[in-house]
Structure 1
């Protein structure tokens, strides 16, 4: 099987290229600029240098591609209004897939697209949880991922194409653990948040396994799948892991999430009234606060059943 991997030089992409080659896949790696030196002369690897947002996509029909794994996306617009431009690369890629007759797409989204704000605290989040459409209250990243999912679904809606949309939790490996769910961290100031739920994390190796399993999976419709570890950490276990990895400092102020929630409900409407929401950090948007700091539990049952997938436990 031959895979086209966009964003192949990114955090997930570079590891996916190596894992796919290790499992005897043929790989076409699409990168924006120069390919890594370690890729030189690798067997079964071809490289396309192309900025999806700026460049014309080459004729993909000449590569005999079976499946596209779309990891690349520019997610740093100056405003929500710029989202059409930011998602242009995704639209161009899918248009070229359709022209070239490539019928299988694996699209990477995010678990942050869900409507955490309206969902009751301490409930179980799964693929049946509603997506948020209140873009005004969402951070830019979540808005763009929601709109990107719409593009993926349109590709798979004709009954001929196949599409798997993955929503991973916060992806980590032995060296990298993001502090996005910790609280407000600015230089030496740390306002950390505690709650009674779990933190939605997923090990990088588990993400790679799920992608490769889905590449050979026959689906009859668009499948949306959450990727999460087994035995997810509590919030305090997550904060402890961040301290052990030196991602946050020891100490800091720790507050319960429900004490900060009313503050967000005051700050956001005032900023909105003054037309200043664009200068707010994502965490001060009600949806973003709820997605990171409101307590929930998370299910990975569908991924296990659909893919025969065995994720790791958080370490």
Structure 2
């Protein structure tokens, strides 16, 4: 299977979403024709670009267009999926949608597949504060035959969203010429905050821990990695973590966001070890407590770790050309 060169088409699922839209723009920046699959509303700007073919399609519908016939494409960037925590919706819009993509790819037999997965697939219970997370880290354990009853599995794992992304990866394990990209907290214009900082209590924002890198992934950097993967052959399935080169601590993120975006105005920082001690004290009540008061969720979101992007740079090259502060100012529309 050769590289995506010349005017070979790139097909993007979830093309009107935050990541999908950036992938469409990045592919067009390289002069690649794009088939943009969307379920709700197309992006207005697409209509003025003859290099973009917009197709309205629900991937989760059995026997849909995608499952019947994948267009002649050099690569598929699969960015579609449910972003919430509802197991039924995740089963339909993430797991079943991926089955449709794989069914279409099997019939076509040519398209390179690039999956936008997530950092959430790692088993954070197997890590300790201060460790370095790489692609060799353990993944969320799944029961035998998990794909036979995915909705039940999603109701039992630590986090239903993470479980759905993990199931996507399992479905890809025997493919040839496929990439799995695992971005951290994806951010950018219109989405400058993230879920790995802490929580809000009325007007007060509580940050859990000020040290340790944040695994941020700017949306343009994720799109750049996805399109580069679409243009690059690989043997079997290659998994790559996608993080920014400049990864701030939570303390630095909070200072910069307050200065550039103007909020949160009221905040307090609680050490990770102190919050962990509280969570363990409340352990017997964990079944009825919100996420960050349950240890598996706390570890997955807040544990201070190091997040290198060494394999990303080795496999797909490139480098980020702006600091975290510059990217935050750009997201605000400042020079």
The TM-score range, normalised by the shorter chain, is 0.7 to 0.9
1:36 corresponds to which residue? 43
Could you say what secondary structure the match of 1:253 adopts? strand
2:235 corresponds to which residue? 220
CA 247–224 in structure 1, closer or farther in 2 if over 3 Å, else same = farther
1:21 corresponds to which residue? 28
CA drift at 1:218 = 1.2
Could you say what secondary structure the match of 1:254 adopts? strand
CA drift at 1:128 = 0.9
* Structure 1 residue 3 corresponds to structure 2 residue 18: no
- Between the aligned partners of 2:33 and 2:314, the Cα distance in structure 1 is 27
State TM-score, norm by structure 1: 0.87
CA 288–194 in structure 1, closer or farther in 2 if over 3 Å, else same = same
What are structure 2's unaligned runs of at least 5 residues? 1-7, 143-153, 326-335
CA drift at 1:126 = 0.9
**How big is the alpha-carbon RMSD for the aligned residues of Structure 1 and Structure 2?**
2.3
Deviates more, 1:304-313 or 1:3-12: 304-313
Structure 2 counterparts to residues 132-143 of structure 1, below 5 A: 132-133=140-141, 136=156, 138-143=158-163
Deviates more, 1:237-246 or 1:1-10: 237-246
CA drift at 1:314 = 2.2
- Between the aligned partners of 1:247 and 1:287, the Cα distance in structure 2 is 32
Counterpart contact for 1:29–1:45, Cα < 8 Å: yes
Could you say what secondary structure the match of 2:273 adopts? helix
CA drift at 1:248 = 4.1
- Between the aligned partners of 1:147 and 1:38, the Cα distance in structure 2 is 34
CA drift at 1:12 = 1.3
What are structure 1's unaligned runs of at least 5 residues? none
Deviations 1:82-128 (A, max 9, x none): 75434111112211211222341000111122122321211111111
* Structure 1 residue 68 corresponds to structure 2 residue 76: yes
Structure 2 counterparts to residues 190-269 of structure 1, below 5 A: 190-246=205-261, 248-267=263-282, 269=284
State TM-score, norm by structure 2: 0.83
Counterpart contact for 1:8–1:31, Cα < 8 Å: yes
Could you say what secondary structure the match of 2:266 adopts? coil
* Structure 1 residue 100 corresponds to structure 2 residue 108: yes
4+ residue runs of structure 1 moved beyond 6 angstroms? none
Could you say what secondary structure the match of 1:252 adopts? strand
Q: 1:300 aligns with which of 295, 309, 329?
A: 309
Could you say what secondary structure the match of 1:69 adopts? strand
Counterpart contact for 2:242–2:309, Cα < 8 Å: yes
Deviations 1:245-294 (A, max 9, x none): 4474222332101111133234454243xxx4xxx543334232112211
2:149 corresponds to which residue? none
